[in-house]
Amino acid sequence: MAAPLTDLSTTDRFWADADRHLVRYAGAGDFTREIIDHAAGSYLFTESGRRILDFTSGQMSAILGHSHPEIVETVRRQIGSLDHLFSGMLSRPVVDLARQLAETLPSPLEKALLLTTGAESNEAAIRMAKLVTGKHEIVSFARSWHGMTQAAANATYSAGRKGYGPTAPGNFAIPSPNSYRPDFVGPDGELDWKRQLDFGFEMIDAQSVGSLAACIVEPILSSGGIIEPPVGYFAALQEKCRERGMLLILDEAQTGLCRTGNWYAFERDGVVPDILTLSKTLGAGLPLAAVITSAEIEQEAHDRGYLFFTTHVADPLVAAVGNTVLDVLTRDRLDERATELGAFLRRGLDDLAARHSVVGDIRGRGLLVGVELVVDRATKRSSDELGALVTRRCLELGLHMNIVQLPGMGGVFRIAPPLTATEDELAEGLAVLDQAIGDASA
């Protein structure tokens, strides 16, 4: 056993223990050098007494803010009566949540499988699609992020592919429709997404061995840099899937449950996926996810012996939390609030762009917004250093921001405050971002 550390302050001891005993899991990134003591609403509070405005809702999850009183009360009540069960047993919170989810969704989405994380829900959805279609090939976006378990990681292209050996055969990527950095352009210089999509599936058809099972995509690619496909794209994508006998899986881990101003981001496009996955926002910060599909697909999966049996499938504790989340979203009309606050945030960001030439693009919907930084607006030349400087300066000034930095793109801030945030809190964050951009640019 290692000798105990002595003569260190409590804080120094904390970081010595963290550096010595924790596995780092964020690539080249380091842990933020703050010890978070507690959180409430839109703010984090450190042991040293600092207050930090949280513009990421934790890991893009806490849509009702931190320590929402109704969530706290639900956890206290439920854990005292029923927290966990054998996976073949059912409880009222689980059935209630399945019903409530179905009531928020268009037909024929009505059958739910309750799990824990986004990766797990995508794993279960892909597994279902393969079994139902009898095929194995999976298509996703070249900037996608669907999780770190095997099938989800195989369908993830934005990061984490190198160094782990071969992926499963039959995983293909199509170009991400990035209107700010278009690869296929029309005579007007704008993204020609129809030609891009046609090209993407021509390449898929050339590589496929005739076993295309599903296409899994995010309505807004978050880790890919808040890339939102143009209106009409998903209807055309669904048609490509139909032509090939593929199922369309939409991963709404970050976009689902009112964040974009709609209950579900796919509503804008008038499409209904064959399988929908939810996570992050469903538990409002607690580990809860769902796979939702039609009775027809569920029946076919069941007839073929669908197996996705996990330790925490259909756990009553987090299901009770999910019910509270849906109740609060409905009662407080947080879809409308996300639209209103999103418009307020967008106006503030447009004002920043007018005064800071390094703001190259602002995109997204509702309270999921991306701000791309560039060194030169004309060439759209990016700078990893600039993004890192602004991020660091924001934290120094009391604002937590998350920046995505991918090859070929500038640093893209993902702004996703809680739906319960106030205009004053958004204004506070905008003021800090304004100062941080100015300081870093200088």
Residue-wise pLDDT tens digits, 19-41? 999 999 876 568 999 999 999 99
Q: Phi/psi of residue 200, each to 5°?
A: -60, -45
Pick the CATH number of 28-60+333-441 from 3.90.1150.10, 3.40.50.150, 3.30.1740.10, 3.40.350.10: 3.90.1150.10
Q: Phi/psi of residue 124, each to 5°?
A: -65, -40
Q: Residue 410 has what pLDDT?
A: 67
Q: Which of 228, 251, 274, 425 is catalytic?
A: 251
* Mean pLDDT, residues 140-165: 95
**Mean per-residue pLDDT over the chain, rounded:** 95
Q: Residue 6 has what pLDDT?
A: 45
Binned at pLDDT 50, 70 and 90, residue 383 comes out as confident
Q: Residue 405 has what pLDDT?
A: 82
Q: How many residues are present in the chain?
A: 442
Strand partners, 368: 365
Q: Residue 84 has what pLDDT?
A: 98
Residue intervals in the chain for CATH 3.40.640.10 = 71-331
Question: Which H or E run includes 94?
Answer: helix 92-104
The bridge status of strand 368-373 relative to strand 359-365 is antiparallel
The bridge status of strand 247-251 relative to strand 212-217 is parallel
Residue-wise pLDDT tens digits, 225-271? 999 999 999 999 999 999 999 999 999 999 999 999 999 999 999 99
Q: Which of 135, 143, 145, 365 is catalytic?
A: 145
Query: Collapsing DSSP states into helix, strand and coil, what is residue 212?
Result: strand
- Compute the distance between CA of residue 396 and CA of residue 120 in angstroms, rounded to an integer: 35
Whether 172 has a pLDDT exceeding 90, the answer reads yes
- Compute the distance between CA of residue 47 and CA of residue 30 in angstroms, rounded to an integer: 19
How big is the CA angle at 51 (ends 47 and 56), to the nearest 5 degrees?
Answer: 110
Percent of the chain with pLDDT over 70: 97
Whether 279 has a pLDDT exceeding 50, the answer reads yes
Whether 407 has a pLDDT exceeding 90, the answer reads no
Contact partners, residue 77, CB within 8 Å, separation at least 6: 320
Residue-wise pLDDT tens digits, 92-137? 999 999 999 999 999 999 999 999 999 999 999 999 999 999 999 9
- Compute the distance between CA of residue 428 and CA of residue 418 in angstroms, rounded to an integer: 14
- Give 155's DSSP letter: T
Do 114 and 313 contact (CB within 8 A), yes or no? yes
Q: Which of 137, 414, 425, 428 is catalytic?
A: 414
Burial of residue 211 (CB within 10 Å: 0-12, 13-18, 19+) is middle
Contact partners, residue 212, CB within 8 Å, separation at least 6: 135, 137, 139, 204, 244, 245, 246
- Compute the distance between CA of residue 109 and CA of residue 155 in angstroms, rounded to an integer: 23
- Compute the distance between CA of residue 125 and CA of residue 274 in angstroms, rounded to an integer: 10
Q: Residue 343 has what pLDDT?
A: 98
Beta strands in 246-366 (DSSP E): 247-251, 275-278, 289-294, 359-365
Whether 5 has a pLDDT exceeding 50, the answer reads no
Do 128 and 213 contact (CB within 8 A), yes or no? no
Binned at pLDDT 50, 70 and 90, residue 345 comes out as very high
Burial of residue 156 (CB within 10 Å: 0-12, 13-18, 19+) is buried
Whether 1 has a pLDDT exceeding 70, the answer reads no
Whether 7 has a pLDDT exceeding 60, the answer reads no
Query: Is residue 435 annotated as part of the catalytic site, yes or no?
Result: no
Q: Which of 240, 244, 259, 280 is catalytic?
A: 280
Q: What's the Cα-to-Cα distance from 220 to each of 198, 233, 363, 407, rounded to whole Å?
A: 20, 12, 10, 19
Q: Residue 442 has what pLDDT?
A: 85
Whether 3 has a pLDDT exceeding 50, the answer reads no
Q: Scanning the structure block, which residue is given the tokens 């703010």?
A: 43
Written out in words, the top-level CATH class of the domain with range 71-331 is: alpha beta
Q: Which of 100, 254, 315, 363 is catalytic?
A: 254
- Give 300's DSSP letter: H
Residue intervals in the chain for CATH 3.90.1150.10 = 28-60+333-441
Query: Is residue 280 annotated as part of the catalytic site, yes or no?
Result: yes
Query: Is residue 207 annotated as part of the catalytic site, yes or no?
Result: no
